[in-house]
Amino acid sequence: MIESQGSAVTVRGKNRLRNGRYREIWPAVFLLPAIFMLGVVFVFPLISVVKFSFYAGRVGDLAPVGFANYYNLLHDSVFLIAIKNNLKLLITAPVSVALALTISLILYEGVKGWRTYRIIVFIPYIIPGTVVGLSFSYLLQQSGILNTVLNRLHLSKLALDWLGNGALSIYSVGGLLIWSQLGFSVIALTAALLSLPQEVNEAAIVDGASKWQKQRYVIIPQLKNTIQFLFVLQIINALAWVFPYVFTLTRGGPGNSSMVMDLFIWQYGFSLGSVGYASAAAVYLLGLSGIFIYLYSRIRRNQEEL
Amino acid sequence: MKRLRELGLLQQGFLVVISISSIYPVWFILQTAMKTNQEYMLRPLNLPQGLRLENIKEVFNSFPVLHWAFNSLLVCIFSVGFCTVIALFASYSIVFGGWKSTRAMLNSNIALMVIPPVTLVIPMFSLMVDLHLMNTLPSVIFFYTGLFLPFSIFLLSNFMKSVPRELIEAAKIDGLSAISTLWRIVVPLSSAAIFTLILVNAIYAWNELLIAMVFLQQQNSRTLMSGLVLFQGRFSTNIPLVMAGALISIIPPLLMYIFGQRFFIKGMLSGIGK
Amino acid sequence: MLSRFSTSRKVGKLSFLIAIVSITGLAFSNTQTFASSAFKSAADPYSGKLVYWFWAESDVPGSTAWMQAAIKRYEALHKNISIELVPQGSDTLQGAFETTAQSKSGPDIAMQWATLPVLTPVWRGQVASLKGLVKPSEMANWLNTSENVSGGEVWAMPLYLLGEPFVWNKTLFKKAGLDPNKGPTTWAEFLAFSAKLKAAGITPIQMGLKDGAFGAWFQATVGTQNLDSVQELKDVYTGKAKFTDPKYSSYLTQLDTLSKKGYFNKDIASIDINQAWQNFAQGKGAMTWTTDGNVAAWVKAGLEKQIGVQMTPKLGTGKLANFHTATQSISAFITSWSKNKQAAATFLSWLHQPENLASWYEATGAFPADKRFSAANIKNPLMKKLFALNSQPGQLWAENYAPPQVDSNGLRPFGAAVVTGTSTPAKAAADIQNSIKQWQTQQPADFKSYKLWASGK
């Protein structure tokens, strides 16, 4: 791949005199709008947020405080809860991918009604997180629909206080996250399954491999890329896209038990106007996601070298 | 043979449970929106006593919901449109532009994908204040366009890698300009990926809350989602009203999905297959 | 073959794209709604466009509808004025205002709860002084303006006077074998009543915690009862005292006791305070704390015979325990960026005209915060009792003395954490103290203003 690009460069170099500067410039011109947008939306804010993190007070009335925000955050029990909760939400990644894998493998076998199931499973993905949170905040209330149903089915033991119990509330958020993202994973995995070469399948059948063996040793390894991609996507979701769910479902409560980073940053940055403190929290969050960027790029590099 | 049938039953049961849990919340929204508050509190599980549209009417009377929906639509169309065009050009340049650093570009692009948007919101906010763009749709459209770019470039450039290089070379020899090659050859070949991209980004733009809430605070500048969160505070003792608002906001994407689902899933399938 | 892709088509397409972009640019520039270009002349107090962020529904059911009607009347009187009423939710009231203030734009008239929620934006330069906008003779009629004084000036207009009484359900009291006409007056009695109610299968206390409100409510009603003066309350925020001192935080232990004994409704943590009041009105719980406005709504709904009202039982030994909890609650102020300050002030003053006060009382049953409102208008005995309570001197709502940041990040969540059992009273007290310290370091300017204000300046 790299060689072919090398040749492209030389071809372009030769063309330069004959065709004027047009050919030379287009790659840069094509890239420019993206560079501009990424510069304004990503690079500038990233620099700016680091700068803000060393100040106290409000925009227009900032006072430098050195590393005090960073230090205070580490002693802020709510911030620590928020980090822990985001890490807890990472559990949704394996759970949701495993669930999606199971579903898509069953659908792939062509069980009765697979077409209908596929359509239905995708529905939650198009429901806005805000609406999901709103409706579940009533469904999951201690005296809400879910518990009413559980009680009627004589499963009172399962009728927990999903939102009101501080030990449980963040897992309810996680459940919502899985619920609303599952459809996308199923479709992505189905797509990958359908693009598998048919011969592999047939060869396995000729070899007399059992269904389970076929799945375990033939199909799943070939889905590796997709699984990895979904895994990363889910991790990003769990780290940084939970705001609408938490905001509508629990507002971080009860008693901060379901606080997460994006809600924390929003609260300080906007509701309270402590821009510096919020920015320092944002820098910590960036560090945390930096770890995942690093890990992912390592995995990708290893793969490409193979 | 018997074991196989049991397995089949088990699978069906599993899928039925998944399906019910996928649909029930939607059903809950629909049926609750039709109930009076009294009815909901006494019989939350029962069917509503008829197709009662008073709640919907009340919602329309209390909030400029149509205005919000229109705003959401504009935000959706323009952010997704701009982003798709910009990402197409960028991906084409990255894949076929003869850059030596293609891989480094793609890797830094992936790094941007993982950056939590919330970390960008505070500086963007002060930028928009300085530019006097607060409470205007362009502020949000601009932000979304930038936010969607990394994922869009990732998806498109991955897809474009599978476009045969010879085709591009041939176009070049035929004297086709880069822009025509992109427009006439690469775009049609990538249509599935573009479709998926538009879909995923449109869903995101329609659903986004945090940025919309922060940047659009005037009653008439809100999007549907940032307006909807007001319901919870306003109608906390009248859940059917909240659900009526929720219902209004999911009808557009749901209708689109129901009527276009074949196209929808097909496009998604071939789009993320790579 | 490829040559059929002509350049002219490409150019056509591009220009089409550019046209679309520029058209939409034009379209968007019109969506900036708050440009009040349609109305001119700032000098005329009866012209202009006013955006009014309103909150009161939670305190006083029916208030939004009344305000909408009042605005219609006002607009009919003055053809050149238009007022856009934007009702706010309790949960986003403070945050939305601070966010919009940071963008240096927003409503012309906003509302916040009295004292710190009003004074914080005042100190941040987001509020216009009423001096010169409202006649002193007019302002002299307003009640409780002292709640919003800083630097010797009144910054906000009260709309109504609101007590936060302790209420109980007489029917349920009877059912549990208690005297339906007598509420608990001491902590011991409160516990004994609760035990008896619980034994009878009745939820003793109905409350809501989802928005954290009760965490602060319990501090405001019970938590101040070991203090002797308002100054002592301010001391904990100026740093002269620590919240971990039992004088300030022993209410958390009481909260813990009530929770551990199971005296709260089971779903306390997943419903908000308004849902809890709705449940109380439906007989799902024997006791709660509420507002005058809600009692008035229940009276209107015919529940009068069922409800007993009184001051919060005496659970502490400080001098403040003798005072009723009442405040002007939400107060309206004019923002510093408003282009129509005089028009806003004129409208606010108009709301206090006697005929409007009377119509407010008629519609909502909540007491207008104005001397011109005569107690003779109150006919209902239950409401009379509440009005008498509110008219006593020394009334106080302690939550209003906490900086909004401490309220939303300290008092509310950590009180809630004790109720749900995720924290202990000692830890919660330390956490609240920590939230006070955080506010002091993160908002040095606010902290300085608070100290100045607390010293009486």
pLDDT (0 to 100) of residue B82: 97
Find the Cα–Cα–Cα–Cα dihedral C267, C273, C277, C280, rounded to 10°: 30
Say what the alpha-carbon torsion angle B120, B122, B123, B124 is, to the nearest 10 degrees.
Answer: 70
Q: What is the mean pLDDT of chain A?
A: 85
User: Rounded to an integer, what distance in angstroms lies between the CA atom of residue C315 and that of residue C193?
Assistant: 14
Q: Give CA–CA dist A7/B172, Å, rounded.
A: 14
Decide if C210 contacts C277 (C-beta within 8 A). no
Dihedral sign from CA coordinates of A267, A272, A275, A276: negative
Inform me whether the pLDDT recorded for A12 exceeds 50. Answer: no
Beta-carbon count within 10 A of B56 CB: 17
Question: Among candidates A137, A274, A160, A26, which has minimal Cα distance to B236?
Answer: A137
CA distance B137 to chain C (A): 7
Does the structure show a pLDDT above 90 at C251?
yes
Q: What is the mean pLDDT of residues A15-24?
A: 46
Distance from the Cα of B201 to chain A's closest Cα (Å) equals 11
Contact predicate C306/C139, CB 8 Å: no
Strands (E), C350-398: 367-368
Does A29 lie at the interface with C, CB-CB under 8 angstroms?
A: no
Helical ranges in B97-223 per DSSP H: 102-113, 118-130, 137-160, 165-173, 178-181, 187-189, 191-207, 210-215
User: Which residue from C minimizes the CA distance to B75?
Assistant: C28
How confident is the model at residue A204, as a pLDDT?
Answer: 62
Partner-chain residue, chosen from B78, B218, B234, that has the shortest CB–CB distance to C24: B78
CA distance B29 to chain C (A): 18
User: Of B258, B255, B245, which Cα lies nearest the Cα of B69?
Assistant: B245
In B119-178, the residues whose Cβ lies within 8 Å of chain A are 119-127, 129, 142-143, 145-147, 149-150, 153, 165, 177-178
Phi-psi region of C217 (alpha: psi -120 to 50; beta: other; left: phi over 0): alpha
Structure tokens at A254: 């009860």
Take residue B2 and report the two structure tokens written for it. 């018997």
pLDDT at position C392: 86
Residue C49: which residues within 8 A CB-CB, separation 6 or more?
C36, C38, C39, C81, C82, C83, C84, C340
Q: Is C99 in Cβ contact with B219 (below 8 Å)?
A: no
The DSSP 8-state label assigned to residue C147 in this structure reads: G
| B contacts of A279 (beta carbons < 8 Å) | 122
Sign of CA dihedral C1, C2, C7, C8: positive
Per-residue pLDDT tens over the stretch C316-336: 889 999 999 999 889 999 999
CA distances from A258 to A83, A179, A271, B36, C413 (A): 10, 18, 18, 32, 11
pLDDT of C316 reads 87
Tens of pLDDT, residue by residue over C114-159, are 999 999 999 999 999 999 999 999 999 999 999 999 999 999 999 9
Question: What 8-state DSSP symbol labels residue C399?
Answer: G
Q: Which chains touch B (3+ CB pairs under 8 A)?
A: A, C
> Is the Cβ–Cβ distance between A118 and A186 less than 8 Å?
yes
**Strand-by-strand arrangement of the C307-310 sheet:** C287-289, C166-169, C307-310
Instruction: Round to whole Å and give the CA distance between C215 and C272.
Output: 11
Contact call for A34 and B23, based on CB within 8 A:
no
**pLDDT surpasses 50 at C7:** no
Residue B189 lies in a domain: yes
In a domain? residue B55 = no
Max CA distance (Å), chain C: 98
Please tell me the total count of domains within chain B.
1
Q: Residue B220 and residue B224: Cα distance in Å, rounded? A: 10
Give B121 to chain C, closest Cα distance, Å.
Answer: 12
Tell me how many degrees the CA angle C53-C58-C59 measures, rounded to the nearest 5.
100
Contacts of B114 in chain A (CB under 8 A): 232, 236, 289, 292-293, 296
Contact C225, C314 (CB under 8 A): yes
Give per-residue pLDDT as tens, C332-385. Answer: 999 999 999 999 999 999 999 999 999 999 999 999 999 999 889 999 999 999
Closest residue to B107, CB basis, from A118, A240, A297: A297
Map out the domains of chain C with their CATH numbers. Answer: 48-162+327-385 (3.40.190.10), 165-324+397-454 (3.40.190.10)
Residue C158 one-letter amino acid: P
pLDDT (mean) for A273-299: 88
pLDDT of residue C25: 47
Q: Which residue has the higher pLDDT, B191 or A21?
A: B191
The encoded tokens of residue A265 equal 């940053």
pLDDT score at C40: 43
Which structural domain, as residue segments, surrounds residue B148? 64-234
Residue B128 lies in a domain: yes
pLDDT (0 to 100) of residue C182: 95
B232 has a chain A CB within 8 A of its CB: yes
Q: What is the pLDDT of residue B2?
A: 63
Q: Are B62 and B218 in contact (CB under 8 A)?
A: no
Instruction: Name the residue in chain A with its Cα closest to that of B140.
Output: A41
**How do residues C215-227 score in pLDDT, each as one tens digit?**
999 999 999 999 9
Residues of A with CB below 8 A from B274's CB?
195
Parallel, antiparallel, or unpaired: how do β-strands C48-54 and C81-87 relate?
parallel
pLDDT value for A291: 87
The span from the CA of A57 to the CA of A276, in Å, is: 7
pLDDT in tens, chain B (274 residues): 566 677 788 889 999 999 999 999 999 999 999 999 988 888 888 888 888 899 999 999 889 999 999 999 999 999 999 999 999 999 999 999 888 888 889 888 888 888 899 999 999 999 999 999 999 999 999 999 999 999 999 989 988 988 888 998 899 888 888 899 999 999 999 888 898 899 889 989 999 999 999 999 888 899 999 999 888 878 888 899 999 999 999 998 888 888 877 777 777 777 665 4
- 3-class state of residue A56 by DSSP: strand
Q: Do A122 and B257 touch (CB under 8 A)?
A: yes
What pLDDT, on a 0 to 100 scale, did the predictor assign at position A174? 96
**Could you tell me the CA-to-CA distances from A108 to A100, A117, A196 in Å, in that order?**
12, 11, 11
Q: Is the backbone of residue A110 left (phi > 0), alpha (psi -120 to 50) or beta?
A: left
In a domain, B145, yes or no: yes
Task: Please say whether the dihedral angle defined by the alpha carbons of residues C267, C269, C271 and C273, taken in this order, is positive or negative.
Answer: positive
Q: Is residue B110 part of a domain?
A: yes
Of A277, A269, A281, A271, which is closest to residue C408 (Cα–Cα)? A271
User: Residue C58 and residue C63: Cα distance in Å, rounded?
Assistant: 9
What pLDDT does B43 receive?
Answer: 84
Residue B159 is assigned to a structural domain of this protein: yes
- As a whole number of angstroms, the distance between CA A270 and CA C102 comes to 8
At residue C351, the pLDDT reads 97
Residue B92 within a domain: yes
| Cβ neighbours around A80 below 10 Å, total | 13
Q: Which residue has the tokens 């990503």?
A: A42
Q: What is the DSSP letter of A254?
A: S
Is C421 in the A-facing interface, judged by CB distances under 8 Å? yes
Neighbours of chain A (3+ CB pairs under 8 A): B, C
Give the chain C residue whose CA is nearest to the CA of A56: C442
C205 secondary structure, DSSP code: B
- What is chain B's Cα-based Rg? 23
In angstroms, rounded to a whole number, what is the distance separating the alpha carbons of residues A178 and A184?
10
Task: Summarize pLDDT for C342-351 with one digit per residue, the tens.
Answer: 999 999 999 9
Q: Are C89 and B233 in contact (CB under 8 A)?
A: yes
Residues of B with CB under 8 A from a CB of C: 41, 62, 71, 74, 78, 85, 125, 128-129, 134-138, 170-171, 174-177, 179-180, 183-184, 214, 217-221, 229-230, 232-234, 236-237
Residue A51: the pLDDT is 95
Which tops the pLDDT comparison, C457 or C172? C172
Please state, for a pLDDT cut of 90, what percent of chain C lies above it: 79
For the record, the structure tokens of B223 come out as: 């999007």
Q: Which two tokens stand for residue C210?
A: 């989802």
* Sheet with strand C160-163: strands edge to edge: C326-327, C160-163, C367-368
Residue C285 region by backbone torsions, left for phi larger than 0, else alpha for psi between -120 and 50, else beta: left
CA distance linking residue C417 with residue C401, whole number of Å: 21
Largest CA distance in chain A: 83
Instruction: Say if B45 falls within a structural domain.
Output: no
- The burial of C436, by beta-carbon neighbours within 10 Å (0-12 exposed, 13-18 middle, 19 or more buried), is given as buried
Residue with tokens 């040749």: A7
**CATH code assigned at B166:** 1.10.3720.10
Whether B183 and C13 lie within 8 Å, measured CB to CB: yes
